[in-house]
Amino acid sequence: MHLLDPRHKASGVAMIAMGLSLAVLYPKALLLSQAGWVWDHPGRNIAFEHMFIAVYVTLGLFLIWGARDPVRFLPLIDFTIVSGTFHASAMLLDALHTPGMADHLGIGGDVVGTYLAPVVLTIFHPRRFYLDGLFRRVPRLAP
């Protein structure tokens, strides 16, 4: 019995790495008030942060659980890619337009950190839906 599906080992490892980062690093950065991770304009909302932590820990644990068979968990991978991209893009726009939020755009900030999971999971997607065939021509059917 294999811990990870040997046909999709890279996808499984990526899911575990991103799951750990969502379940451990994201909460750590918020709870320890790491610069570039706390949104405090106009004021800090601790309850809101706790809700984010609950959602990201849950998502991270499901990614780790799904790493055994990434193909079976394609909807979870796709959800993580799409929701993470939209979330990070919303934060990017907010950081660009809100005074004093430039720290969020740095290499150690939460905008870059939130883009990390969608990028890594897209690169190691088990079926390569997003990269493979992106520029491939679809053959025409004969009339």
Query: What DSSP assignment string belongs to 59-120?
Result: HHHHHHHHTT-GGGGHHHHHHHHHHHHHHHHHHHHHHHHSTT-GGGGSTTSHHHHHHHHHHH
> How much is the average pLDDT of 74-98?
93
Question: Does the residue 138 lie in any domain?
Answer: no
Question: Does the residue 140 lie in any domain?
Answer: no
pLDDT beyond 70 at 84: yes
The whole-number pLDDT of residue 26 equals 86
> How much is the average pLDDT of 62-79?
94
Q: Any idea what DSSP says for residue 20?
A: H
pLDDT beyond 70 at 53: yes
Question: Does the residue 16 lie in any domain?
Answer: yes
Question: Does the residue 1 lie in any domain?
Answer: no
Mean pLDDT highest for which of 2-6, 11-15, 32-36, 109-113?
11-15
Q: Which domain holds residue 118?
A: 6-123
Question: Does the residue 15 lie in any domain?
Answer: yes
Number of domains into which the chain is organized: 1
Q: Using CB atoms within 10 Å of the CB of residue 67, give its burial: 0 to 12 exposed, 13 to 18 middle, 19+ buried.
A: buried
Question: Does the residue 54 lie in any domain?
Answer: yes
